[in-house]
Structure 1
Amino acid sequence: MEPRVLVIGLDPYRVPGPWDPEPVARATAAGLARFAEAGVGVETCLLGLDGSDDIEAVVTEALGRRSWEVVVVGGGIRKPEDQLDLFERVLNLVHRHAADAAIAFNGTPTDTFEAAARWLDGP
């Protein structure tokens, strides 16, 4: 399947803090499995908040891999108020490097396919 959707989110294993990343990783995997079930190609761009990524370079490289029909920006980037600058940077990079792609937002990692499907031109 040719990838049509890019999901930009946080790598749960590279988010600092005392927390268990496994539930988020499992939910993300379940959400991405829905794309395969629907026959829709998907790729991910998972960012670390531990200082290991040049976020602009990583997102720009992912956006430049191909033309995307939809770019989904995950809630980990969008929801925490202290991440507002990251959210703005990601949106502006999508606008600049994938201007023809629809932008979608998921509510949880498990409904990522539904977020993208709202903007896909059929399976």
Structure 2
Amino acid sequence: MTQPTVLVIGFDPYQVPVSDQDAVAAALDRGQARFAEFDLEAENCLLGLNDQIESDATAALKTRPWDCVVIGGGIRKPPEALELFELMVNLVRKYAPQAAIAFNTSPEDSANAAARALAA
């Protein structure tokens, strides 16, 4: 049996304004490592604040059939990112309609979010 596949869409800490880029990158690495605990295969799609957001997310969504897509809090939480959040949800619906959609609370609990959505 193959492992369920998960795509995590979020911001690249080195391409967006964050107070401690290295700390956020380390949290992303720790979160990525946790997918093995749930026997999930995961990839990150880390976006910058540029004109390529839609094309980069679309390309990642089209790389393979995903079982789950996690949309990160950096895209989901800030009120000024509402339109981007809507775009991401609609891209998932268009290019990965079979995928469960999950939401994390931090980069380190993306695996928990994916496991929760896949179990539902």
Q: Aligned AA for 1:15?
A: V
Q: Aligned pairs, how many?
A: 118
Tell me which residue corresponds to 1:66. Answer: 64
In 1, distance between residues paired with 2:66 and 2:25? Answer: 24
Determine helix, strand or coil for the equivalent of 1:71.
strand
1:117 to 110, 115, 118: 115
Percent identical pairs in the alignment equals 55
Q: Aligned AA for 1:83?
A: A
In 2, distance between residues paired with 1:115 and 1:37? Answer: 13
In 1, distance between residues paired with 2:17 and 2:104? Answer: 22
Contact preservation (8 Å) 2:3, 2:39: no
Q: Aligned AA for 2:48?
A: G
Contact preservation (8 Å) 2:102, 2:114: yes
- C-alpha RMSD of matched pairs (Å): 1.6
In 2, distance between residues paired with 1:3 and 1:21? Answer: 30
Tell me which residue corresponds to 1:75. Answer: 73
Q: Does 1:94 align with 2:95?
A: no
In 2, distance between residues paired with 1:8 and 1:57? Answer: 13
Contact preservation (8 Å) 2:65, 2:96: yes
Unaligned runs of 5+ in 2: none
Unaligned runs of 5+ in 1: none
In 2, distance between residues paired with 1:31 and 1:86? Answer: 23
In 2, distance between residues paired with 1:115 and 1:39? Answer: 13
Tell me which residue corresponds to 1:36. Answer: 36
